[in-house]
Amino acid sequence: MPTISHDLDELEATMQRQGLTLVRRRGYGVEIIGSEEAKRHSISLLALNHLDDSDLFGQFQDQTVTHPITAQLLDMIGKDNFKKLEQALWELNDDWPNTLSESDYTRMLIKLSVALTRIGNHCLVAANTYDHSKVIPLLQSLMDALDLQLPLEEQRYLSQLLDNEAFPESSLLIHHEDMPTLEGVKQLIQYVEKHLNLTLTEDHSLEEGLIQHIKPAFQRILDGIAIRNPMLVQIKKDYSSLFSIVRGGVQEVYAHIKVPDEEIGYIAMHFGASLERLKPFPRKIRAVLVCTSGIGSSKLLAVKIAKELPQIELIGHYSWYEATRLPASRYDLIISTVDLPLKPDRYIKLSPMLSPEETNKLRAYIEGTTLKKVNPAIAAEAEASGQSPMDRLLLLQLYSGVVLRLLDGFHVHDLAMQHGLVDLAEQLPRMLSLFDKPYIDRHNDKITEQLLARERQGSLVIPDTELALLHTRSEWIEEPLLALYRFDRPLILSEDGEMKAKQALMMLGPMKLDPYSLELLSEISAMLLLPELLTVLAHGHAASIKLFISKKLEAYIKTKLDWRES
């Protein structure tokens, strides 16, 4: 009894944070009460904290789950619903933006599955709670695919859930929602650089990997979701010095959050991968990589494979739901860190750390299995379909076309502020009209509201500057646009008047934007942390600004295409 009472004491605080109440009465028992939404959220957190991908996706062919707690959790989230949802969403992947990370996709599946399971058990959300929510087309498509009939209130609840989980913001920043995220990543890279006495700032893969990883990972820490890292002991052993440096950098840059060693380990793996990338290696056998522990661990595994077995050509990192659907002709081998529903001759399971024993295991597998089934005709076709000089030239044409169109339309506007018109809401219509685009003039008010909505989501001012970044993607905009505005006195950006700017860089793009344009616009936004660009934006002419941006984008494109002078 004392043990149970102690456990319930700890559980009570957790329940309160999740908006639930733990009832404990002698002669009555123990009960958790609260809103249906809070209960669904609590079950989802339990699943995220205690189930891994092998529990969710690895139990195939009616294998029995032996651990009773695992079995109970799978029952609470509805394992059958989970599999049906995953299949249905995959089949609908043309109808929604499938740009979610694997962890975000899994979290969304869990939340949907919990909701459908609770609905099936007649546990419904309260009536009139979602009166003003609309039923989005994705939910209707999902209901049709699963042949579901749901109460209107639940349709509205699920629409809101899907809207929050499946659809990214209408942002022009690819992997980060605000500039502080990018600024923190750059500061962390600079800290590690200084202590390693190496140059890492030009490694775009490191920067992008950290941007994708850190914000959602830190949000999970703030939400109370436990961080598990089964490789932590091995990471500390193999990368003790790097681990200590990264921990010091995280503690300095992110002093406001207590980051556990488990998460430090994942971040250290990003830097470990960057250090390994400094070493060139040849590649020959086509392999697909599936790693669910995170982007950092997958990159580290990739470079370890390349270092130990250079005959392997890693043609891509895929999620479990992509890899299982790839045509066998696309690859010779799948290397995975989790069980997959595939035949043993199509994949091998390894740990992300790739110990010497596993290196030998992989070599033996290639020699004993993979090489025996390689079809020379398929191999020749794959070699021919690789990135040839023609492929690189075509990509160069795509990237350069985006840059030329964007910079050709770039203008600098010096605006005199009229008396009484010093806040952003009143200035935006005038600023938009200067693009001199008929489609913007027709929908000026709608685009203005979208820009203001972005402003309400977070700070627009670049840290320690007088420059604001205004950006949105909109159905009313037909092409990527870029403009700089300079004001003769500070423009008020926030209702309390605390946030002001004397220059504003506006980036606009259509809702359906090709990945090349989105990538380059995001790269321009990342440049706003460079002091040289901030100086030229504040004082330079349009020509000098175009020259600076074009030079930086040229270097970025060369790195992206792995362009080598010969």
Residue 566 has what pLDDT? 39
Q: Is 1 exposed, middle or buried (0-12, 13-18, 19+ CB in 10 A)?
A: exposed
Nearest alpha-carbon partner for 424 in 497, 344, 332? 497
Three-state DSSP class for 461? strand
Reported as a single tens digit per residue, the pLDDT across 57-91 is 764 444 455 678 888 888 999 988 888 888 888 77
Q: Report whether 412 contacts 384 (CB < 8 A).
A: no
Report CA 532 to chain centroid distance, whole Å: 29
Q: State the residue for tokens 């959790």.
A: 73
The span from the CA of 208 to the CA of 556, in Å, is 13
Tell me: pLDDT of 184 over 60: yes
Three-point CA angle 281, 286, 290, nearest 5°: 95
Question: What whole-number percentage of the chain has pLDDT above 70?
Answer: 81
Nearest alpha-carbon partner for 437 in 482, 484, 495, 477? 477
Lowest mean pLDDT among 102-111, 137-146, 329-338, 369-378: 369-378
| pTM of the model as a whole | 0.49
- Residue 501 forms beta bridges with which residues? 491
The span from the CA of 428 to the CA of 447, in Å, is 9
Residue 432 has what pLDDT? 93
The span from the CA of 329 to the CA of 314, in Å, is 15
Nearest alpha-carbon partner for 313 in 382, 222, 394? 382
Give me the mean pLDDT over the 349-363 stretch. 77
Structure tokens at 5: 């009472």
CA distances from 178 to 181, 214, 490 (A): 6, 13, 22
Structure tokens at 523: 């790269």
Highest mean pLDDT among 183-197, 350-364, 407-421: 183-197
Reported as a single tens digit per residue, the pLDDT across 28-47 is 889 999 999 999 999 998 88
Q: What is the DSSP letter of 5?
A: H
CA distances from 226 to 107, 220, 229 (A): 14, 8, 10
| Direct distance between the N- and C-terminal alpha carbons of the chain, in angstroms, rounded to an integer | 76
Q: Report whether 23 contacts 30 (CB < 8 A).
A: yes
Nearest alpha-carbon partner for 422 in 494, 472, 483, 484? 494
Tell me: pLDDT of 291 over 70: yes
Residue 382 has what pLDDT? 41
DSSP secondary structure string, 144-191? HHHT----HHHHHHHHHHHHHHHS--S-S-SS-SSHHHHHHHHHHHHH
Q: Report whether 481 contacts 409 (CB < 8 A).
A: yes
Going edge to edge, which strands form the sheet with 333-336?
Answer: 312-318, 285-290, 333-336, 347-349
Q: Is 249 exposed, middle or buried (0-12, 13-18, 19+ CB in 10 A)?
A: buried
Q: Report whether 407 contacts 550 (CB < 8 A).
A: yes
- Helix crossing, 261-276 with 240-253: angle to 10°? 120
Residue 383 has what pLDDT? 44
Report CA 429 to chain centroid distance, whole Å: 33
Reported as a single tens digit per residue, the pLDDT across 471-495 is 888 888 989 999 999 988 888 877 6
Measured in degrees and rounded to the nearest 5, phi and psi for residue 471 equal -150, 145
Three-state secondary structure readout of 326-372: CCHHHCCEEEECCCCCCCCCCEEECCCCCCHHHHHHHHHHHHHHHHH
- Residue 468 forms beta bridges with which residues? 461, 504
The span from the CA of 257 to the CA of 250, in Å, is 9
Amino acid identity, position 496:
D
Tell me: pLDDT of 325 over 90: no
Q: State the residue for tokens 């690859």.
A: 331
Reported as a single tens digit per residue, the pLDDT across 379-397 is 444 444 445 566 677 778 8
Question: What whole-number percentage of the chain has pLDDT above 90?
Answer: 18
Three-state DSSP class for 414? strand
